[in-house]
């Protein structure tokens, strides 16, 4: 087997590395702000979430890291927010249509609009996905993103029925957003990076105080702002394609700062949730298979997940002793498995 990459819950000892990843992620990555104190708070909240026996009705935050356990290299991070908007408002622009018509004049015009809303309140969000560029290969990205779906499948009672993912919108090399320049800055009188940072550290009161309360006519925005509505940053294109292969779809909701699309899917309809199932562990020699499978244990506090070219057969899967040790499972234990990628588009 190749070197094992493993998903596990984040620990406070990962703080230094998480700060490095946050710094590298750059502007527009709202859920991973470069703020050590806040990141420490996020880790502590995640540790508490994994210890909760019962789900918190107001939602909880779960953070995971990708690690190469052979030398404790942490190379990526991802997260799940169990119920957004229950502790603080969760804003989007909803795209709509307004018709202006006059029968007498024979005029009938349709206009696209943006309306500030909280429609996704209570949904589960998959978020905070960032992988060190050096490791964006060998199915690492697929493992880091999709591991969350096996966790959702295993602990469905902790999560509402709909899952969303906010995609990073278009910005240039200097972090400037054409959408922000065309709309947001007129209401906030600050740079995009500052507004984005304030949101990332949880200061969202200013949004309700300063955002327009009425519909915004899109055709009145500058052309550059209109062109990026619902589009993703070039570095986010693979993440969007991955989510769409799992069943996520754009529902005409965008980020209020950079106009990035929000994708959504019912939990039960996510491919990796729908097609995953249990098999029993058999410990033996490595048996190579042409298809990679996601494999996770069934533990909450000690959740572990990996991807390997090992296939289940007749209700069991053969793991090497090393891989079983990393997944914290023994002979006869149950693991959850699903093909890493969809063979046909779901």
**pLDDT, tens digit (0-9, with 9 covering 90-100), for 250-261:** 999 999 989 999
* Confidence band for 205, pLDDT divided at 50, 70 and 90: low
pLDDT score of 202 more than 70: no
- Strand 107-117 with 124-131, pairing: unpaired
Using CB atoms within 10 Å of the CB of residue 113, give its burial: 0 to 12 exposed, 13 to 18 middle, 19+ buried.
middle
Q: In the beta sheet, which residues pair with residue 263?
A: 165, 250
pLDDT score of 28 more than 70: no
> Which residues are known to be catalytic?
233
Dihedral angle computed from the Cα positions of residues 133, 137, 46 and 13, in that order, rounded to the nearest 10 degrees: -70
Residue 129 placed within a domain: yes
Query: Do 341 and 245 meet the contact criterion of CB atoms below 8 Å apart?
Result: yes
* Residue 201 pLDDT: 61
Residue 241 placed within a domain: yes
The domain in which residue 79 lies consists of: 6-96+115-275
Which stretch of 18-27, 227-236, 289-298, 305-314 has the lowest confidence by average pLDDT? 18-27
Residue whose tokens read 């957004």: 84
pLDDT score of 344 more than 60: no
Task: Collapse the DSSP code of 269 into the 3-class scheme (helix H, G, I; strand E, B; otherwise coil) and give the result.
Answer: helix
Number of domains the chain is built from:
1
Residue 34 belongs to domain with CATH number: 3.40.630.30
Residue 291 placed within a domain: no
Residue 318 placed within a domain: no
- Reading the block at residue 39, the tokens are 């990141």
Residue 200 placed within a domain: yes
pTM: 0.91
- 168 secondary structure, DSSP code: P
Average pLDDT score over residue span 47-60: 90
Residue 199 placed within a domain: yes
* Residue 346 pLDDT: 39
pLDDT score of 193 more than 50: yes
Query: Do 327 and 306 meet the contact criterion of CB atoms below 8 Å apart?
Result: yes
Return mean pLDDT, the chain. Answer: 91
């Amino acid at each position: 087997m190749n070197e094992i990459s493993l998903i596990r819950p984040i620990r406070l000892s990962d703080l230094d590395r998480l700060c490095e990843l946050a710094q590298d992620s750059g502007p527009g990555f709202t859920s991973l702000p470069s703020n050590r104190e806040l990141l420490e708070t996020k880790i502590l909240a995640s540790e508490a979430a994994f210890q909760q026996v019962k789900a918190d009705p107001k939602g909880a935050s779960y953070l995971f890291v990708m690690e190469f356990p052979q030398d404790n290299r942490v190379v990526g991070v991802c997260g799940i927010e169990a119920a957004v908007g229950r502790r603080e408002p969760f804003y989007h622009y909803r795209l709509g249509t307004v018709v202006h018509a006059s029968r007498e004049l024979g005029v009938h015009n349709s206009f696209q609009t943006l309306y500030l809303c909280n429609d996704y309140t209570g949904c589960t969000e998959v978020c905070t996905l960032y992988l060190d560029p050096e490791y964006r290969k060998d199915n690492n990205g697929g493992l880091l993103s999709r591991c969350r779906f096996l966790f959702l499948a295993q602990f469905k009672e902790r999560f509402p029925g709909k899952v969303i993912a906010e995609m990073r919108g278009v910005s240039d090399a200097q972090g400037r957003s054409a959408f922000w320049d065309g709309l947001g800055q007129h209401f906030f009188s600050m740079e995009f990076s500052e507004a984005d940072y304030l949101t990332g550290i949880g200061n969202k009161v200013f949004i309700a105080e300063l955002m327009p309360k009425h519909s915004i006519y899109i055709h009145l925005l500058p052309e550059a702002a209109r062109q990026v509505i619902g589009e993703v940053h070039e570095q986010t294109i693979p993440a969007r394609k991955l989510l769409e292969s799992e069943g996520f779809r754009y529902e005409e909701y965008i980020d209020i700062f950079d106009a990035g699309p929000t994708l959504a899917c019912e939990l039960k309809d996510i491919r990796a949730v729908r097609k995953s199932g249990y098999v029993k562990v058999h410990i033996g020699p490595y048996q190579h298979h042409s298809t990679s499978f996601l494999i996770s244990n069934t533990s909450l506090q000690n959740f572990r997940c990996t991807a390997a070219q090992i296939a289940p057969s007749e209700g069991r899967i053969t793991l090497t002793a090393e891989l079983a040790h990393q997944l914290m499972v023994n002979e006869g234990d149950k693991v959850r498995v699903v093909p890493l990628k969809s063979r046909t588009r779901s």
